[in-house]
Structures are given as C-alpha cells and as structure tokens.
Amino acid sequence: MSTRALAGLLFASLVANIVLVVTLVLAWEPGRPMEVTLVRPATVTNIYRPVRTNIVVEARPLRWHDLESTNYAFYISNLRSIGCPEATVRDIITAEIDDLFAGRRRRELVLPRHQWWRSKPDPALVAAAGSVEQSLADERAALLTRLLGSAGSETGTARDEAEAATPLDGPVLGALAEPIRAAVRSAEQLRDRRLQELAQAGEALSPAEAVRLDGMVRTNLAAVLNPEQLEEYLLRYSRTANELRDRTSELDLGPEEFRALFRALDPLEQRLSTLGGGTETAEAAAEQVDLLARREAVLQETLSPEQYAEYSLNQNPAYTSQRDRLRELGLPERHALPLYEINQVTREEIARLQSDSGLDAAELAAQLEAVEHQRQAAVQTVLGPEGFAAYQASRVP
C-alpha cells in the first residue's frame, strides 16, 4: 500500500473517533442522580414475627422522692412548682422540721432520767437541760421563720416522748432507728394489754404473772436491741434498777459503781422473783436464803467499807425513821446515827431492867425513869437546847 493510501486511512479513523467522542458527550447529562435501591430483608428469629427496633418515649409518673430534698428551700421550691397549696407546703415543711428537732431532742437533750445511777435529780443537770431545750426551740423557730416566714406552732412529738412511761431518749436510746423504736413499743404494748385485761376483769396481778410479763418483755427486747441498748433500757426501767436506786439512794454512787452492782445483782434478783415467797418447798426456801446471802455478799464486795456501813444503816427502819424526822425538822442529818445509837442503848437497858427479877415494881419504875432522863440528856447533848426542844415536840421516840 502506498504512503498516500495509508495516510488517508489514518485520517478517516481519526475523524470517526472524534465523532464517537462527541456523541458520547452529548448523550451524558451531568447532575442527574443515580437511583440506588437497597433491599434488606427483615431478620427473622422465629417463623412468626420479624424483630424490629422500636424506641418509645413515655412520661414517667411523678414520684414523691422527686420532690423531697434535704435542702428545705429546694424542697419548698419543688412543692410550689407542682402547684402545691401554700397551706399544704407549710404543713409538710413544719412536720419535717418537727421530726428533725424531735430526733435532736431525743439524742442531744440530757435529762435527769438519763442518769440512771441517781435516785434524785441533779439540780445542775435540770438547769442545763432547760437551757438546751430552749436553745433547740429557738433554733427550730428561726429555721421555720427563714423558710416559711413564721415559726409555726409547737409540735407534740417531744411532749409525747417525754410523757411516755419509758421514754426512748438520751445518747443511747435516743439514737434508735424508727423500726427498732417501733419494735420496743410493740413489746411494751403486749405487756400493757395484759395488765389492762387484768384491770378490766378486776383481777390483781399475781407475782407469777408479773414475773412472766417481765420475762416476756426482756426476751422481746433482746431480739431487737444490741447489748448496750438493752442494758441502757434495763438500767433505766427494770425492777432491779428501780429497787437498787431506792436502796442506795443515800450513797451517791457513780455510774460505773451502779452498773457493776446492777450486773452482779440482776441475775440474782431475776431468780429471786421466780421463787416468789420461797416457802412453797424446802428446796425453794433454801435457795431463797442462799440467793439473799449472795446478794448481801455482792453488796459488801462491791461497795467500799464506808458505803456498805451506810447502806446497811439505810436498810434499818429504826435508823431511817430518825434520819427522816431530822430532815422534817430541818436539823442536821449527821445526828441521825448518834440518836439511833442512843435509842438502841436505851432499849437494851430497858430490856435488861425488865428481865431483872430482883427488882420490885417501884424499883423498876424508878430505874426506868432514870434511864429516860439519861436518854434525854444524851439527846440534848447531841442536838443542843433548841434542837432538843424541836425534837421533843415532834415526839420522836
């Protein structure tokens, strides 16, 4: 093929390619989106129903704890935000504040009954308790005024607790959780209902029934109180503690001395109470004698010699009658022991003279009169003229 022919073919091919490119360019429309359809079959976990993801937003009901707050100002704001009437807001907040301060009174206010080792109130403690009570009342009023604009009325919670037969207050019992307090009250109510039944039936409480009820309360209390709480309750309200306070009222015992006596004597007293009179059988009578001797030994071992001597005197009616009469007359109590001893010696001398068969009636009368003159002279020496005159006028034997 000649060169001219080959050049002609190449030119013709070039023209054809240009025409093809132009045709393709004209056929393409830019900006037209491509439609793509994605078909995804549902995932089937069983033959009945496909699993679908549904997001559902529901309104949760308003709950009380959404409103409550330990920040009382925020609490009030929450109540008002839901349209709570102002009077209701005041009642709710006042009740909350009253509960708060009732708990503080139970824990912080130290009252004479919390000093379970004392038979007589401590005047300094009474004054201090009044001061703390007033301080708490002022603090409550200030808080209510700041929150609500006025102090509100006093609550009955503290008074109800104070007027209970066995107030659960003080550093130990005052800190009891509400469920435990309710359990203690339930145990007491079981006993009180039984006492009420007996009263309504006109029946007296027998010693055996008293022991049974006391044991029932102790058992129920031991189930809900820890050892420290149970001992605190018994030190304040048990029969053993009450009797021990009476018997040691003149000794001015400290808390640890009283606690030691209580711990040693309580088991003995509990057993003595189950024996009743102790005379039903010879064995019971012998056990009662043994328990009484052990009780006396505990007192003698626990108390100092001076305390035990004073304790023994205070169990003697002849001595206590002298002491009580001196108190009534406003005379020094220290004279009670000399007067008791003078009267003891006088009685012994009278008994000796009356048993002397060698004296006739006139001689006996003269001797007895002389003894009486000597007694009066000894009493006057102890009391002085004015004290003796008051003593004689009161007809103390």
The answer to whether position 53 is within a domain reads: no
CA distance 89 to 73: 11
Q: Which of 295, 166, 177 is nearest to 232 (CA)?
A: 166
Domain that residue 185 falls in = 176-231
Whole-structure pTM value: 0.66
- The overall average pLDDT reported for the chain is 80
Same domain for 310 and 320, yes or no, is: no
The answer to whether position 170 is within a domain reads: no
CA distance 172 to 133: 18
Same domain for 279 and 363, yes or no, is: no
CA distance 226 to 229: 5
Residue 295 has a pLDDT of 94
Q: Has residue 167 got a pLDDT over 50? A: yes
Q: Which of 300, 287, 249, 291 is nearest to 266 (CA)?
A: 291
Give the pLDDT mean for 94-103.
86
Task: Give the model's confidence band at 41: pLDDT under 50 very low, under 70 low, under 90 confident, else very high.
Answer: very low
pLDDT tens across 178-198, in order?
A: 999 999 999 999 999 999 998
CA distance 291 to 299: 12
Q: Which of 368, 375, 371 is nearest to 354 (CA)?
A: 368
CA distance 75 to 172: 31
Given 163, 191, 213, the domain boundary residue is: 163
Q: Has residue 168 got a pLDDT over 60? A: yes
Same domain for 367 and 395, yes or no, is: yes
The answer to whether position 250 is within a domain reads: yes
Q: Has residue 348 got a pLDDT over 70? A: yes
Residue 345 has a pLDDT of 93
The answer to whether position 192 is within a domain reads: yes
Residue 109 has a pLDDT of 81
The answer to whether position 59 is within a domain reads: no
Residue bearing the bigger pLDDT, 235 or 63: 235
Same domain for 208 and 135, yes or no, is: no
Residue 394 has a pLDDT of 81
Residue 207 has a pLDDT of 81
Same domain for 338 and 397, yes or no, is: yes
pLDDT tens across 211-258, in order?
A: 889 999 999 999 999 999 999 999 999 999 999 999 998 888 999 999
Give the pLDDT mean for 74-100.
86
Residue 25 has a pLDDT of 47
Residue 17 has a pLDDT of 60
Cβ–Cβ contacts within 10 Å for residue 173, how many? 22
Name the domain count of the chain.
4
List the Cα angle 150/138/88 in 5-degree steps: 35
The answer to whether position 344 is within a domain reads: yes
Task: Give the model's confidence band at 176: pLDDT under 50 very low, under 70 low, under 90 confident, else very high.
Answer: very high
Same domain for 68 and 84, yes or no, is: yes
CA distance 394 to 397: 9
Residue 48 DSSP one-character state? S
Q: Has residue 266 got a pLDDT over 90? A: yes
Cβ–Cβ contacts within 10 Å for residue 104, how many? 16
The answer to whether position 39 is within a domain reads: no
Same domain for 368 and 390, yes or no, is: yes
Given 275, 294, 314, the domain boundary residue is: 314
Residue bearing the bigger pLDDT, 63 or 248: 248
Residue 261 has a pLDDT of 95
Residue 16 has a pLDDT of 58
Give the pLDDT mean for 318-345.
91
Same domain for 258 and 270, yes or no, is: yes
Same domain for 139 and 219, yes or no, is: no
Give the pLDDT mean for 6-22.
54
By the 8 A CB rule, do 79 and 67 touch?
Answer: yes
The answer to whether position 195 is within a domain reads: yes
Given 134, 163, 192, the domain boundary residue is: 163
